[in-house]
Structure 1
Amino acid sequence: MSRSQPQTNVEFVAELMEFSAHGALIQAFVLQALTYYAYRVAAADPDALDTGLVNGHAWHGCALEVQQRLKRHLQE
């Protein structure tokens, strides 16, 4: 795909989820990857997640939000 502008993160993830050589299996893969990473970050000490770019408590909060939203989504 030739583009004059780089894709946004949202466009990239949408394209990844919709167009894969492995069909719809990619969607299960992406959801599993989110689940795994959110679990690891939520289990960590928020202070240990601090970097020069990201506040550890905010990053930890993102993980908790993703966990909650995935739980609701997958129980529907």
Structure 2
Amino acid sequence: MPSTNVEFVTELMEFSDHGALIQAFVMQALEQYARRVAAMDPEALDTPMVSGHAWHGCALEVLQKLEQRLET
């Protein structure tokens, strides 16, 4: 059975050939993509499967949680 997304990301973050550096890479990628999506018009993000407003909201949530994480 294929792994879930959570299992995949956990394995990537914990068992990389590049050690802990992969964690910085994944976090950076997450932040950069969230910033790109947050800067877009939500309607431009609409697809037949996902509401652009919901996708945009996910980006804003990720950015907010990353900010909170860095405050600590």
TM-score normalised by length of structure 2: 0.97
- Give structure 1 regions of 4+ aligned residues with deviation exceeding 3 angstroms: none
Q: Deviations over 1:30-68 (max 9, x none)?
A: 000000000000000000000011100000000000000
1:26 equivalent to 2:22? Answer yes
- Counterpart CA distance in 2 for 1:55 and 1:71 is 25
Identical counterparts, % of pairs: 72
Query: Which protein is bigger by CA-based radius of gyration?
Result: 1
Please list, as runs of the form range in 1=range in 2, the aligned pairs for 1:1-76 lying within 5 A after superposition. 5-76=1-72
Structure 1, unaligned stretches of length 5 or more?
Answer: none
- Counterpart CA distance in 2 for 1:8 and 1:57 is 25
- Counterpart CA distance in 2 for 1:75 and 1:12 is 28
TM-score normalised by length of structure 1: 0.92
- Kindly provide the amino acid, as one letter, of the partner of residue 21 in structure 1: D
Q: RMSD of aligned C-alpha atoms?
A: 0.5
